[in-house]
Structure 1
């Protein structure tokens, strides 16, 4: 068909083939919306209208919280299943805010602002208090949680 009508400008692009663990984020010439490709999944990131976006997708911080929440839920599910615990459902609610370091008692940083993420677990199932306490400990050990708490080096280069 293309040889008769040429390349269609609004054609959906071919999906990008990415190696596992790689993500591609692309933007157009205007607007804040970003097309995200992660494996075979296509997503959109954007900002709300009051910040100059079109609210066509979650914000970058929403994606950060989503990563932590999904990893937490998966880690808790694997742990409870391995232990044979009767955990029926896991909900992970998260929020993010920037707070003054001086107002953060548990923070090592004492100047400027720090990122504070609150993670609330809602777990359904006939679990003992000891099991619930252990699941809170395990939540802090999910891989994304550990990455966020460790030293992170971001290397940026131009191609």
Structure 2
């Protein structure tokens, strides 16, 4: 998968192309943008939240567990030298304590979580 960006219509706005999909990103007004879309760190937090919800939902369905819905919130920001993502998960449904714990274990194995907590490299090439 390749993701591309190009300048949008705003001062700092970027159009992100992900396959056939398009998403806008921008900077906050106080940073010189127009806040016409989420900031890049918001997209990172959104990726973690969405991946968590999708992964847990798929697992619960395979098991036939009574997970009616899942709500995932991610607060994020710089804390000292680290950028911190604080994830809160709320399971909606008639789950046992053991099932809820297992779903939390599975949440920690979602692909985005594994990527963010694993070893990463960013290789930059100027074209």
Task: For 2:47 and 2:84, locate their aligned partners in 1 and report how far apart those are by CA, in whole Å.
Answer: 15
TM-score scaled by length of structure 1: 0.77
Alpha-carbon deviations, 1:9-67, whole Å to 9, x = none? xxxxxxxxxxxx21111125972110111111111000111111101100000100111
- 1:48 aligns to 2:28 (yes or no): yes
CA RMSD of aligned residues (A): 1.3
Runs of 4 or more above 2 Å deviation: none
Task: Give the strand-richer structure, 1 or 2.
Answer: 2
Evaluate the alpha carbon distance shift between residue 31 and residue 134 of structure 1 in structure 2; reply closer, same or farther with a 3 A threshold: same
Q: For structure 2, which runs of at least 5 residues remain unmatched after alignment? A: none
- 1:82 aligns to 2:50 (yes or no): no
Aligned residue pairs, count: 127
Q: For structure 1, which runs of at least 5 residues remain unmatched after alignment? A: 1-20, 101-112
Q: Which of 137, 149, 152 lines up with 2:105 in the alignment?
A: 137
Find the structure with the greater CA-based Rg: 1
TM-score scaled by length of structure 2: 0.95
